[in-house]
Structure 1
Amino acid sequence: MGTSGKLADVFPAQPDGRVRNSFRFLPLSLCIAAALPVHAQGLDDDWRLCPLEDAVPPFLDAPEPVGTPADRENLPTDIAGDALDASESASTVFQGNVELTRGDQFLGTDQLTYDSETGTYVAEGSVRYQDSGMRILAERAHGDQETDRHTIEDLRYQLIERRGNGGAEKIELQGEQGLLLGSTYSTCPPSERGWELRADRIDIDTEEGLAVARQASIRIGKVPVLYVPWLMFPIDDRRRTGLLWPSIRLSGRNGFDYEQPVYLNLAPNYDATLSPRIMTERGAMLGAEFRWLYRGGRGILEGAWMPTDKLPENEPERYAGSRTPPTDDRGTFKFNATHALWGNWRAQANLGWVSDPHYLEDFSNSQYGMSAWNIRSALGVYGRGRYWDAGVMADHNQLADYTLTERNLRYDRMPRGYLNWAQPVGDWFEAGINAEAVKFQHDVRDEGSRLDLKPYLAMPLEGPSWYVTPKLAWRYTAWQLDDALAAANGGEDSPTRSLPITSLDAGLFFDRQVEIAGESFLNTLEPRIYYLNVPYEDQAGLPRFDTNPMTFSWGQLFRDNRFTGPDRQIDANQLTTAVTTRLISEEDGRERLAASIGQIHYFEDSRVTLNRNQAPLERGRSAWVADVGVAPGDRWTINASYQWDPKERREDLISLRTRYLVGDTGVVNLGYRYRRNLAEQVDFSFLYPVSRDWSLVGRYYYSLDQRKLIESIGGVQWESCCMAVRLVARRYIRHRSGELDDSLRFEIELKGLGSAGQKSGELLRRAILGYERDDLYLVPPSSLDSDSFDSSLDPIP
């Protein structure tokens, strides 16, 4: 395949013999992009159910794309064909396997006619275009190079970089302006056209990056479900001011609930979003978000304001007798920002506020979203190096639970400074210090300050199958109390505590090869001891600012304090003995079994308690702590924890969690948890695929000790390659009022386009562990994201 020497007469050659920029490529990729009002959406959708089918199959005669679209203007255009007919006129005809290539672009056709005097051309017969982003197949293309007018007829396209395909009856271009007639778009394969977006006419402006669709409709199957007479949308990655996808809900409390976000593109490095919201049963609300980004940091400021909420009027019994009823003006505020300072230091702020303690419950339909009982705001400067981390900060707590009082709030730390340093010293030792200075403030409780210093020296020794780490620490803590708090704690306003902490941590590693049921394993045996000695010092007169008991668990066997915070340091003369064994598959390296058991032996009574009324910890043995994790196959996972008190001859804790993976997408979870004097609960959840497209979802979460339902979910979902439909019924207990609430969610998701109805994916992901295969959590994820209000587990009594 080649061209004759007459090619140079029509397309003058450059000194290197190649024809450069002699023929302007049709800007088809820009035209097709204009047919996609879902630009840049659907990147995270699940396409596992999609067949390997393209609307436009790969062109076997097309070369691999070279370079990027940005390189095209600087690259040559090569033309080749089986035959060239250059007559006495200005018309030149390329026939048979005509190919034009430039960088990542390829244009192939059966025949190309070009008039060098008028600049007109006609490409006929199997017009094929390909670049790094898409493939296009058309019947005919013609145009005028001089006036930059182009027409492409009867075309189909297939996106390459992201999923999507469609077609158009005709595309007309002139310069940066264009017109598409009878265009379609879908992420579904041609053989399973679950949904399709159609538009009778789309006017495009590639210079502005905008398009206007007229008479647009969305069809599910062959049935039109949404009609839009006029719609403006972007066709490239540039951010623009305009409307975002609305949110539509329906509930008995809010009525018809419509929220329409409006995006404001203010500058390249900052923007804003306004979100007016109408709730027919409650009134109007305005939300706003402002974001910024610069070389040294980023931030987000967001809030919502509702001038008049009719909910207290509609449900007066909910607020009867409340110490803090809702105000007329209700709202929330959040600020999160970080800024790089110098070296390893940064400034960070995370601030939050709500108008009243009822706000989180009244504006959330999530059981987990309402569990935050306080809102913590923090502001500080933080640093981190190879051997140290430090910070100076302040925080404040706001009450967000109307069932509690201000006295339940934790102390504000105004300010707090801390330093943690640990570094090897020579070849044998490690030295370090944990230091903290805090001033505690509270609106209704007594106040004071505290300095805590804990330097230590350790000698970590280890070999291939053993380790021994003796450690000596000294803890010095000093308080400065106001008069009222000093009087309540024995009359001393500057108490101190100083005592040594000695520990020894040692362990051995044994391993052997075993064969079980024909499979080879590496079996380990890992005995461990931990000795702790801390002398007794009377701490009954010391204040309690931020100290609580830790939950007894496997990790507690190897800590030097059973309390959080420095207000209490246990006295101890105790020895922990523990052993762990593992079975590790030699075929794939997976841990099939991990079993651990341990216990603390108290040689003396531990007399330090949180308050004078609490009984000391008597000498003897602690509860046995056992943890077992088993993975008998690729689909089963079983985890169990058990605590047995030999003195009282009773269980303190029983926890059982099992998970079974069904097929490629399904999962079944069963959990049981019992903690003496606190809770006994059972949790069963599942995603069960009935067929390739249909699956059942459900959860039953029940409190056995209170004989009360916590949450139940039941639903059905249908999912195909490019579309999903979910119908989910839910009943859950409201965290504060204890009332049961019901909801019915219906959602239609068009993958790559968006969804209509109440979104159920996040609800099911939180309720069903492993709902998404990439998220096989053993602990339920919180519905609050990382920027949400900080909530502590328990208030201070």
Structure 2
Amino acid sequence: MRPALRLLPLPLCIAFSLQARAADDMPLNWGLCPVQDVVKPFAEAQAVPEGLKIDNTQEATDIEGDALSGTEDNPVFNGNVTLRRGNQFMGADELTYDKQQEHYTAEGSIRYQGAGLRMTAARAEGDQAKDVHTIHDLDYQLLSQRGNGGADSVTLSGNIGSLRGATYSTCPPESRHWELRARRIDVDTEDGMAVAHGATLRVGKVPVIYLPWFMFPTDERRRTGLLFPSISNSSRNGFDWRQPIYLNLAPNYDVTLSPRLMTERGVQLGAQFRYLVEGGTGTVEGTYMPNDKLRDRDRSLFHYGAFQNLGANWQARANLNWISDTRYYEDFNNSLDGLSQFTAHSEVGVYGRGYGWDAGFSADHWQLADFTLTENILPYNRMPRAYVHWERSLGLRFVGGVDAEAVRFQHSVYDAGSRLDVKPWISLPLEGDSWFLRPIAAFRHTSYQLDGGLADSIARSRAVVAEEALGRFWTTDTVPTSVWQPLLQRKPISSTPVLSLDAGVYFDRDTRVKGKDYLQTIEPRLYYLRVPYTNQDDMPLFDTQPLTFGWGQLFRDNRYSGADRQADANQLTLAVSTRMIRQSDGRERFSASLGQIRYFDESRVRIPGEPITEKGRSAWVADANYAPTDRWTFGASYQWDPKANKTDLASVRARYLLPDDGVFNLGYRYRRQVLEQADISFLYPISPSWSVVGRYYYSMFDNKALETLAGFQWDSCCVAVRLVGRRYVHNRAGDLSNAIMFEIELKGLGSAGQDTRRALRRAILGYNRDDLYLVPPQTATGQPTPPDIDTVTDTSP
């Protein structure tokens, strides 16, 4: 006997028919929603061990009851009737089955559990011959995720289901903050699609959205359709509405269209195409805005990012970017990051890595993205660039390797050239449990092939310097040919040995502070660097700049980036670090570092405008971090120049983690003649439901607030509301813009309004606690991470 078996598709109808999900990289907060059973567990249902998968179609059906009556053709089960098939259970007070008509009726306390669903109903009936089944007055609860509701009736015919008077919500029945209701929902479980008739979304008791008809997916398969819109308002854009439209073109590629209306600026069209192939993936996206009222011109952007595995050790990657004008990032950016982005960088190449080696062959291009600058400031394009790093054990504890790079430099303003840089090295690393000694001997050879114009320019510059020493103050335009022509070199070469010795010792001891066990360390370190002087005045400056002085610079063999200059040196770094590590969990409670370079000779290699590195001492570099409790963290960095008797850099930071995911941040940053800023941000919970957020980011150097943010959040079991006001610098002229961001989130369904959590996460470090343990990745070129451009976003399901 197989009565009621066609009830099995019901969980698919209910569990997915009323759900729509919005992708979010922050998990939903269900802290105010203790797990409760809207439909109580059934004692008769057998629990299935977690992770165990059962194919119910291969299982037999068992029917039991306290009493069996009727006839052989019309059996009647009474009292605690149960039907079991695999991990599915159904119970009833009475079940009647007509074998001849293949019709069944189940009445009284209908109970069902299986496939992530628990359900109760008043009555169920069906026709096995016609494969038609109906359940009346049912309540359900999803087990694998939040969600519950009910329906007046459900009718199933094969793979087609129809729910009448259906409801769905993630709120408990006694606190129905929101609920989705539909007069009728027709579901096709085979196609994975459903059609809702007369659907209404209620917030509290107020209907806010009514849709007479709409189609939506019922499973995890991607479907073409509308995604949640983004809505905001600002003084720059006016009312801002973006409506993503998702097109599922094939299993391995899709398109998201993003038309956008800004009442103060016009209409923007955006599109994103994604593809997935074996061993690789890629994204093509762009925007086009005809006649932006803000600039009275057409605006557009293009981006292509992809990678493709070429084997076990090689991969092709591309990151191509293009913008229509130099103000694009500034005008379409919704954070301060866009103001620091002065270029659009593109790179494509093939890269490999294996045991003891890595290599690459690439090309890159720079586009100006700052209207206040000219193309003179753009870095040289490297078209192409090839590099290799190789190292191996040579036996007898020796380790050797080579770093090599060949580049062709191009520029839209300056003449170009080619460079070959090769640096073989050998080392004899010695170390024990508490010490290390790493001597390294290297030889750096750099050669060029310069175009005529660039060689002439370098020769003229050298001539000017030489003649100024004799009291003849010529410029590069007036210096006689007879003076600069003998200095002309189109193939300059530089060869320099580089010797270094890095040594350190670890001292540690067990100690006890306030009843807790700690491991205390003291780690002195010496680093000696010797590089003889080599005249490099006839060498160009393609990609070389002085590195920012800091802790890492104390232990480098060159104070320049790039290969156009190898600094001469005769110097010794003295440094010491100490740490206090809690024994119980390994957490570092305190750390401090102090270091300085002693220069035994004046450095003669430098680039134009760089101050001379004289004999004596560098700035002191100090850094300290202290966590007196698990909630408080303090940090400070400091650089003091003893020659100028001035502070070069100062940074102070403090963080307090409040209960209930609250956080308070305080920061101060100072760099001599560059910046002086204070930054305060917080997320303060007033109650379990209410919290306030804010940020005040002020520049003492410019005497203005760079960003002011204030707002509140209300969070309930299944609804969250965020209202935030912002006043921020939106262009390089320092003009301020105002914006109001409002978002209402129906947990488990989606959100409407602007993505305020994304803006708050960017402004308040620790708004998402996981961010406190992440280190932002650096790009291969050393450029800042690209800004969060407010254009096309990944909104696919």
TM-score of the aligned structures, taking structure 1 as reference length: 0.91
CA distance in 1, matches of 2:61, 2:263: 62
> Secondary structure at 1:775's aligned position in 2?
helix
Q: Give per-residue Cα distances to partners, 1:678-711, cap 9 Å, x unaligned.
A: 1111111000001110011000111112211111
Kindly state the Cα deviation for residue 790 of structure 1 after the two structures are TM-superposed: 4.7
**Does residue 183 of structure 1 match 2:166?**
yes
Are 1:566 and 2:594 an aligned pair?
A: no
Q: Deviations over 1:446-505 (max 9, x none)?
A: 211111111111111111111111111111111111111111222211111111111111
Match of 1:287 in 2: 270
- Following the alignment from structure 2 to structure 1, what is the Cα–Cα distance between the partners of residues 437 and 73? 92
Aligned-pair distance for 1:532?
0.7
Alignment of 1:359-398 (within 5 A): 359-398=328-367
Task: Give yes or no for the alignment of 1:473 onto 2:442.
Answer: yes
Residue 181 of structure 2 contacts residue 201 of structure 2 at CA under 8 Å; is this kept in 1? yes
Indicate whether 1:462 and 2:431 are aligned: yes
Q: Distance in 2 between matches of 1:575 and 1:432?
A: 25
2:268 & 2:628 partners in 1: Cα distance? 54
Q: Which residue is equivalent to 1:535?
A: 532
Q: Is the 8 A contact 2:19 2:748 kept in 1?
A: no
User: What's the RMSD between the two structures over aligned residues?
Assistant: 2.3
Aligned partner of 2:366: which letter? N
- Determine the C-alpha separation between the residues in 1 that align with 2:48 and 2:638: 61
From 294, 299, 303, the equivalent of 2:286 is 303
Q: 1:671 aligns with which of 660, 667, 673?
A: 667
Tell me how far 1:102 sits from its aligned partner. 2.1
- 1:774 counterpart SS class: helix
- 1:763–1:390 distance in 2 versus 1, CA, 3 Å: same
How far has the Cα of 1:197 moved from its partner? 1.2
Counterpart of 2:433, as a letter, is: P
Q: 1:370 to 1:715 in 2, by over 3 A?
A: same
Greater shift, 626-635 or 484-493, is seen at 484-493
Q: Distance in 2 between matches of 1:541 and 1:236?
A: 68
Alignment correspondent of 1:715: 711
Cα contact 1:184–1:199 (8 A) shared by 2: yes
Unaligned runs of 5+ in 2: 460-487, 788-797
1:75 and 2:59 aligned: yes
Matched, 1:430 2:388: no
Residues 311 and 535 (structure 1), Cα distance of their counterparts in 2 relative to 1, 3 Å cut: same
- Match in the other structure for 1:795: none
- State the alpha-carbon separation in 2 of the partners of residues 552 and 101 from structure 1: 73
Q: In the alignment, does 2:542 pair up with 1:545? A: yes
Q: Which residue of 2 aligns with 1:659?
A: 655
Is 1:701 matched up with 2:692? Answer: no
Instruction: Please tell me whether the aligned partners of residues 766 and 780 of structure 1 are also in contact (alpha carbons under 8 angstroms).
Output: no
In the alignment, what sits opposite 1:225? 208
> How far did 1:370 drift?
4.1
Structure 2 counterparts to residues 67-466 of structure 1, below 5 A = 71-85=55-69, 87-88=70-71, 90-313=73-296, 328-466=297-435
Partners of 1:35 and 1:268 lie apart in 2 by 22
Match of 1:686 among 682, 689, 692: 682
The SS at the match of 1:62 is: coil
Instruction: Give the superposition deviation at 1:519.
Output: 1.5
Task: Report the equivalent of 1:38.
Answer: 20
Counterpart residue number, 1:323: none
Q: Could you tell me the percent identity over the aligned residues?
A: 58
**1:348, 1:252 → 2: CA distance?**
39
C-alpha change, 1:614 and 1:417, in structure 2 (3 Å) is: same
Q: Which moved more, 1:588-597 or 1:61-70?
A: 61-70
> RCO higher in 1 or 2 (8 Å CA, sep ≥ 6)?
2
Letter in 1 for 2:721: V
State the shift of 1:739 in Å: 0.5
The residue matched to 2:56 in structure 1 has which SS? helix
CA contact (8 A) 1:180 1:201 kept: yes
**Counterpart position of 1:575:** 572
> Are residues 1:593 and 2:590 paired?
yes
User: The residue matched to 1:449 in structure 2 has which SS?
Assistant: strand
User: Structure 1 stretch 677-686 or stretch 40-49: which is displaced more?
Assistant: 40-49
Match of 1:737 in 2: 733
Separation in 2 of the partners of 1:46 and 1:566?
51
Alignment correspondent of 1:724 = 720
CA distance in 1, matches of 2:568, 2:46: 77
TM-fit CA distance, 1:730 = 0.7
Q: Look up the SS of the partner of 1:579 in the other structure.
A: strand
SS in 1 for 2:60: coil
Aligned length: 755
- Does residue 26 of the first structure (1) align with residue 8 of the second (2)? yes
TM superposition shift of 1:261? 2.1
**SS of aligned partner of 1:489:** helix
Which of 483, 503, 506 aligns to 2:452? It is: 483
1:312 alignment partner, SS class: coil
Q: Retained in 1: the 8 A contact 2:592–2:624?
A: yes
Structure 1 distance, partners of 2:548, 2:43, is: 66
The 1:371/1:115 distance shift into structure 2, 3 A limit, reads farther
Q: Which position in structure 1 is the counterpart of 2:493? A: 496
Cα distance change, pair 275–482 in 1 and its aligned pair in 2 (3 A):
same
Displacement of 1:396 after TM fit? 0.8
Is the deviation greater in 142-151 or in 241-250? 241-250
Q: For the structure 1 residues 501 and 495, does the alpha-carbon distance in structure 2 shift closer, same or farther, using more than 3 Å as the test?
A: same
Q: CA deviation at 1:84?
A: 2.5
For the residues of structure 1 that align with 2:255 and 2:110, how far apart are their CA atoms? 44
Residue 781 of structure 1, CA deviation: 9.5
Q: For structure 1, which segment, 418-427 or 513-522, has the greater mean C-alpha deviation from structure 2 after superposition? A: 418-427
TM-fit CA distance, 1:510? 1.1
Is there any run of 5+ residues in structure 1 with no aligned partner, and where? 1-9, 12-20, 314-327, 792-797
Instruction: Tell me the distance in 2 between the aligned counterparts of 1:198 and 1:422.
Output: 67
CA contact (8 A) 2:665 2:680 kept: yes
What residue in structure 2 maps to residue 5 of structure 1?
A: none
Deviation for aligned residue 1:23: 4.2
* Residue 586 of structure 2 is aligned to residue 603 of structure 1: no
Q: 1:39 to 1:70 in 2, by over 3 A?
A: farther
- In 2, the alpha carbon distance for the partners of 1:163 and 1:438 equals 57
Please say if 1:640 is aligned against 2:601: no
Change (3 A) 1:354 1:636: same
**Does the 8 A contact of 1:35 with 1:184 survive in 2?**
no
Amino acid across the alignment from 2:191: E
TM-score, L = length of structure 2 = 0.91
**1:439/1:385 Cα in 2 relative to 1: closer, same or farther (>3 Å)?**
same
Q: 1:41 to 1:790 in 2, by over 3 A?
A: closer
CA shift, 1:589, in A, is 1.7
CA positional deviation for 1:264:
1.6
Q: Amino acid of the residue matched to residue 766 of structure 2? A: G
SS in 1 for 2:741: strand
Please name the residue that 1:321 is paired with: none
Once residues 627 and 141 of structure 1 are traced to their aligned partners in structure 2, the CA distance between those partners, rounded to angstroms, is 73
Aligned residue for 2:536, secondary structure, equals: coil
| Pairwise CA distance, 1:444 | 0.7
Task: Give the aligned residue type for 1:702.
Answer: Y
State the distance in 1 between where 2:357 and 2:42 align. 59
Contact 2:391 2:401 in 1 (8 A): yes
The letter of the residue matching 1:71 is D
Give the partner amino acid of 1:394: A
In the TM superposition, residue 648 of structure 1 has moved relative to its aligned partner by 2.1
- Counterparts in 2 of 1:772 and 1:101: CA distance versus 1, 3 Å: same
Question: What is the distance in 2 between the residues matched to 1:200 and 1:523?
Answer: 69
User: Would the aligned equivalents of 1:55 and 1:190 in 2 still touch at CA under 8 Å?
Assistant: yes
Which piece of structure 1 moves more, 36-45 or 683-692? 36-45
